[in-house]
Chains A and B, each alone.
Chain A
Amino acid sequence: MLNYLNNVNAQDLAKAFGLTQTITPTRRGFLKLSGGAGLGLVVGFGVSGRLTSPAQAAPTPHPFVEITPDGLVHVISKHLDKGQGSATGLATLVADEMDASIEQVRSKFAPANAALYKNLAFGVQGTGGSTAMANSFLQYRQAGAAARLALVKAAASEWKVPEREIEVSGGVVSHASGRSSGFGELANLAATQTLPEKLTLKTPEQWAYIGKSFPRVDVANKSNGAPRTYGMDFKIDNMIYAMVARPPRWGATFKSMNAASAKSVKGFIEARPGPTGVVVFAESTWAAKQARDAIEIEWDFSKSENRGSDQLYSEYRTLSEQKGPIAHSHGDADVALDNAVKTIEATYEFPYLAHAPMEPLDITIHAKADEVQIWTGSQLQTVDQMVVGGVLGLKPEQVKIDTLWAGGSFGRRAVYNAEYSAEAALVSKVWGKSQPIKIVWTREDDIKGGYYRPMYIHKVKAGVDGAGQLSGWHHRIVGQSIFTGTNFESFVVKDGIDHSSYEGTGDTTYSISDMTVELHSPKVAVPTLWWRSVGHSHTAYVMETMVDQLAELAGRDAVEFRLAMLDKDPRKAGVLKLAAEKAGWGSPMPAGHGRGVAVHKSFNSYVAEVAEVQMQDDGTVKVLKVTVAVDCGIPINPDNIRAQIEGGIGYGLGAVLRNEITLTNGEVDQANFDTYEPLRMDDMPDIEVHIVASTEAPTGIGEPGTPPIGPAVANAIRAASGKSPVRLPFTKEGFA
């Protein structure tokens, strides 16, 4: 997702948000050590540009690593872990360089401070675009190496032996003389050491944890109901609860309300109209919900989005017949198509999709005169700071964020306008008093709340020549731009073309000599957002089902046809070959079964998936097994890579099988998990993941598993039934 934010810096971002105040400028700094009363050692990268003299340094509250006197190593995670395992990944990097033991490593989230904790791929503090490990791989190993060296120096001075004779292993610092110590005892002395600017990192042969599935740091807390884990669990003294009755159509405004019936709800405090809807204040979540249900509200629909999805599809279909702005072009697709001996043409429909993370949105806010505190699973801390500060008339740095674990996101918690945090600030203003307020979204609020994966239509024509080679590819996409009209527009949208709408098409590494991609970006008031794998969530489906049919048109094997076009992309060819081999590609299948393949590169990672399906007597499909090969560079944590592939497949499969958000007269038809039914246990195929051994830099893993599953299953359906689903979800075609 947010990989578009490359090279954005805090000043540009602030300008984009219309703010004159900027957060502290970021500068690549040097190592900073400090100690303090009972604090032990802290290691961070200071903003001063100089190694701070420990004697003068105040204990920094912004370290990457803390060693407490009890010997625990706390790895400070600049990234939100919403399930993707980044907290464990960062802990792995630090623990490896430090030679810490698995048992002593803990993880906690960094405070909001872009100067120290910016995502190096974005320039601001935030998580997304499957960038967490890629941008941290060097930085967190350096932090671990610094902490280790400080411990070594401390032991050497304490024991009066040369540094080179000190060994560190399994969390123990030792010397041949028999002296040994845990990290905790040395932490304060370590904090006074002066470190060189250049640190030596381990070579891959020396890695103890990288590549070896360090256990997740969060399993225990997530298996025993530990308190205060998620934002939804947060509670503080004197806190009240709020729910917002938001207008049922985008662009509708408040007209009037009658809250008389709510007065009988025990625990109801008050309802007041606010900028995003009617805010219902109460003493508990349930009271807020009961009261909200009881309030009658009239909305003004005169300026709202009143179109339904049938009308939108119809308008999109019309556009798909018209020439659109060129997003990408190389060669001459028209001439190549004229030269083709056989062509195919298809029109695909993709619905709006909700992210529907298990934890509905929630945020607690406490605004004071000169500071505001928020507690939530913040995914774009810097944007939250800017927007919340802007709403409340405070500087970004006066917005303090306690980032909590998030019960999923899939993109939903990273909103370009800080939507739900901004609403919290507005609710706080509506309340007027300085009091902690927890804003809770119900599942219905979540499903109906917008910020969807956009609806798209793709119309594609492609052909093969007499030699069985692909000849000409014309591709037209119709769908809303995610970025246009947002504060991020200038970073992503060039000449009206939003790259996220067509990524995965024109930039394909298949050798296609003649290709044109056109893009229509109609305006609809439904807010849209990145959804696990963003543009790839629809483009991979079109690319890989078309290529599959072209192979058949050419009379060639689907894997061989693809491989022949991947001479310039050995890594993509590598995963395709591996997945095909492991899946027994080409071996006979029982009647009614089908096997399909898809391969796609996204977030700089390569994933090939082979799906096996069984057509059911009622025409629906059961996905039995998916065999996967993945190349995401150095596999920092193979077990987590497998987990993310399994999850990415399940997430994508649920969507293609039966998920869609539709509108009737501008109102969302779905409400909860009955009408937007997620993938369930009995839908889940067996999954076998093969990881390519690689020495390339680590790349994304949270998203790349999702794009290939839809087309792999669609191709398997075609192999089994001869039918190729082009309207999603499959329920529309009768396959699910």
Chain B
Amino acid sequence: MTLLKINGINQTVDADPETPLLWVLRDHLDLTGTKFGCGEGLCGACTVHLDGEAVRSCQTTLADAQGADVTTIEAVNSKASQAVQTAWQELQVPQCGYCQSGQIMSATALLNETPSPSAQDIDDAMSGNVCRCATYVRIRKAIHRAAELMEA
């Protein structure tokens, strides 16, 4: 049994400590907003926050997550995340939408650290998040828009 703090709630999980956090979230805890895209840390669809930092949950084991504050798309709720989700609606970002949980978690982490990111900051922070629908044009605009919303 491993004790986890997910979205502010303590949970015990009966799984091999080497199980990726991704599958603990999805299969054991039924938090399916965090997506499986590649399983190798190459696409960012599984991005969650571990103590506020964006990590790939497919590369984070259950043991790694023990003792940390894990935040997922279902519960992310900060000034930055609200601005990001509002901007995603305004700019109509998602198409298939499957990568967007991860995009939003990465964008939120970026804005938490860098409230007014440059185009280069955005490319640097977001290039690990793949979108096969190529919504990148709108993600870029939406992050700038979220930064404006945070200032307001």
A residues adjacent to B (C-beta < 8 A): 82-85, 215-216, 218-230, 232-233, 235, 241, 266, 284-286, 289, 356-360, 405-410, 442-443, 639-640, 643-644, 646-647, 649-651, 653-654, 672-674, 678-682, 684, 686-687
Given A224-B74, A650-B134, A672-B42, A681-B96 contact (CB < 8 Å): no
Q: Which residues of B, 11-54, contact A by the 8 Å Cβ criterion?
A: 15-16, 19-20, 23, 26-28, 30-40, 42-43, 45
Given A407-B97, A408-B133, A219-B32 contact (CB < 8 Å): no
* Nearest Cβ on chain B to A445's Cβ, whole angstroms: 11
Residues from chain A with Cβ under 8 Å of B133 in the complex: 83, 358, 408, 647, 650-651
- Asked if A651 and B89 make an inter-chain contact with CB atoms under 8 angstroms apart, the answer reads no
Closest to A233 in B: B32
Closest to A408 in B: B96
- Asked if B42 and A680 make an inter-chain contact with CB atoms under 8 angstroms apart, the answer reads no
Contact of B20 among A218, A227, A241, A286 (CB under 8 A): A286
- Asked if B92 and A224 make an inter-chain contact with CB atoms under 8 angstroms apart, the answer reads no
Closest to B125 in A: A681
- Asked if B96 and A359 make an inter-chain contact with CB atoms under 8 angstroms apart, the answer reads yes
Contact of A405 among B72, B97, B137, B139 (CB under 8 A): B97
Closest to A677 in B: B42
C-alpha spacing A650/B138, complex, angstroms: 12
Q: Which 8 A-B pairs have the closest CB atoms?
A: A225-B33, A650-B134, A407-B98, A222-B97, A83-B96, A225-B73, A83-B95, A233-B32
Q: Is B83 an interface residue (CB 8 A)?
A: no
* Nearest Cβ on chain A to B117's Cβ, whole angstroms: 12
C-alpha spacing A381/B132, complex, angstroms: 24
Residues from chain B with Cβ under 8 Å of A224 in the complex: 33, 73-74, 85
Given A227-B32, A358-B131, A647-B133, A682-B26 contact (CB < 8 Å): no
Q: Is B140 an interface residue (CB 8 A)?
A: yes
C-alpha spacing A681/B72, complex, angstroms: 23
- Asked if A359 and B72 make an inter-chain contact with CB atoms under 8 angstroms apart, the answer reads no
Closest to B40 in A: A672
What are 7 A-B contacts with C-beta separation under 8 Å? A358-B131, A360-B37, A408-B132, A442-B39, A643-B135, A649-B134, A673-B130
Contact of B33 among A82, A226, A286, A443 (CB under 8 A): A226
Residues from chain A with Cβ under 8 Å of B139 in the complex: 681
- Asked if A673 and B42 make an inter-chain contact with CB atoms under 8 angstroms apart, the answer reads yes
Given A232-B32, A266-B15, A654-B96 contact (CB < 8 Å): no
- Asked if B36 and A684 make an inter-chain contact with CB atoms under 8 angstroms apart, the answer reads no
B99-140 to A contact mask, C-beta < 8 Å, 1/0 = 111001000000000000000001100111111111111111
B residues adjacent to A (C-beta < 8 A): 15-16, 19-20, 23, 26-28, 30-40, 42-43, 45, 72-74, 85, 88-89, 92-101, 104, 122-123, 126-140
* Nearest Cβ on chain A to B71's Cβ, whole angstroms: 11
Residues from chain B with Cβ under 8 Å of A405 in the complex: 96-97
- Asked if A358 and B73 make an inter-chain contact with CB atoms under 8 angstroms apart, the answer reads no
Contact of A680 among B27, B73, B100, B130 (CB under 8 A): B130
**Number of inter-chain CB pairs below 8 Å:** 184
* Nearest Cβ on chain A to B122's Cβ, whole angstroms: 7
Contact of A673 among B33, B43, B72 (CB under 8 A): B43
Given A224-B85, A266-B15, A682-B127, A357-B96 contact (CB < 8 Å): yes
C-alpha spacing A358/B130, complex, angstroms: 8
Residues from chain B with Cβ under 8 Å of A232 in the complex: 32, 35-36, 98
* Nearest Cβ on chain A to B4's Cβ, whole angstroms: 15
B27, B45, B88 — which one has the most chain A CB atoms within 10 A of its CB? B27
Residues from chain B with Cβ under 8 Å of A215 in the complex: 89, 92
Q: A285-B27, A407-B96 known; 8 other A-B pairs, CB under 8 Å?
A: A83-B94, A285-B26, A358-B131, A406-B96, A646-B138, A672-B40, A679-B134, A687-B137
C-alpha spacing A686/B137, complex, angstroms: 7
Residues from chain B with Cβ under 8 Å of A84 in the complex: 95
C-alpha spacing A360/B39, complex, angstroms: 11
- Asked if B42 and A223 make an inter-chain contact with CB atoms under 8 angstroms apart, the answer reads no
Closest to B134 in A: A650
C-alpha spacing A711/B133, complex, angstroms: 20
Given A222-B100, A286-B19, A359-B35, A678-B132 contact (CB < 8 Å): yes
Residues from chain A with Cβ under 8 Å of B36 in the complex: 232, 285, 360
Closest to A679 in B: B134
- Asked if A684 and B137 make an inter-chain contact with CB atoms under 8 angstroms apart, the answer reads yes
- Asked if B132 and A651 make an inter-chain contact with CB atoms under 8 angstroms apart, the answer reads yes
C-alpha spacing A442/B36, complex, angstroms: 9
Closest to A213 in B: B92
- Asked if B122 and A83 make an inter-chain contact with CB atoms under 8 angstroms apart, the answer reads no
Closest to B24 in A: A286
Residues from chain A with Cβ under 8 Å of B85 in the complex: 223-224
Residues from chain B with Cβ under 8 Å of A653 in the complex: 134
- Asked if B135 and A443 make an inter-chain contact with CB atoms under 8 angstroms apart, the answer reads no
Residues from chain B with Cβ under 8 Å of A223 in the complex: 85, 88-89, 93-94, 97, 100, 104
- Asked if A83 and B97 make an inter-chain contact with CB atoms under 8 angstroms apart, the answer reads yes
- Asked if B132 and A225 make an inter-chain contact with CB atoms under 8 angstroms apart, the answer reads no
Given A223-B88, A266-B16, A230-B98 contact (CB < 8 Å): yes
Closest to A216 in B: B92
- Asked if A443 and B28 make an inter-chain contact with CB atoms under 8 angstroms apart, the answer reads no
Closest to B95 in A: A83
Contact of A284 among B23, B38, B42, B136 (CB under 8 A): B23
- Asked if A646 and B135 make an inter-chain contact with CB atoms under 8 angstroms apart, the answer reads yes
Closest to B104 in A: A223
Residues from chain A with Cβ under 8 Å of B130 in the complex: 358, 673, 678, 680
Residues from chain A with Cβ under 8 Å of B123 in the complex: 681-682
- Asked if B104 and A82 make an inter-chain contact with CB atoms under 8 angstroms apart, the answer reads no
Closest to A653 in B: B134
B26, B33, B38 — which one has the most chain A CB atoms within 10 A of its CB? B38
Closest to A85 in B: B95
C-alpha spacing A284/B85, complex, angstroms: 31
Residues from chain A with Cβ under 8 Å of B128 in the complex: 680
- Asked if A408 and B98 make an inter-chain contact with CB atoms under 8 angstroms apart, the answer reads yes
- Asked if A222 and B94 make an inter-chain contact with CB atoms under 8 angstroms apart, the answer reads yes
C-alpha spacing A650/B139, complex, angstroms: 13
- Asked if B134 and A646 make an inter-chain contact with CB atoms under 8 angstroms apart, the answer reads yes
Contact of A639 among B92, B96, B100, B122 (CB under 8 A): B92
Given A83-B133, A356-B132, A673-B38, A227-B126 contact (CB < 8 Å): no
* Nearest Cβ on chain A to B111's Cβ, whole angstroms: 15
Given A223-B85, A225-B74, A643-B26 contact (CB < 8 Å): no
- Asked if A673 and B40 make an inter-chain contact with CB atoms under 8 angstroms apart, the answer reads yes
- Asked if A225 and B34 make an inter-chain contact with CB atoms under 8 angstroms apart, the answer reads yes
- Asked if B97 and A647 make an inter-chain contact with CB atoms under 8 angstroms apart, the answer reads no
- Asked if B136 and A684 make an inter-chain contact with CB atoms under 8 angstroms apart, the answer reads yes
Closest to A438 in B: B27
C-alpha spacing A730/B109, complex, angstroms: 34
C-alpha spacing A686/B34, complex, angstroms: 29
Given A286-B23, A359-B35, A673-B40, A684-B134 contact (CB < 8 Å): yes
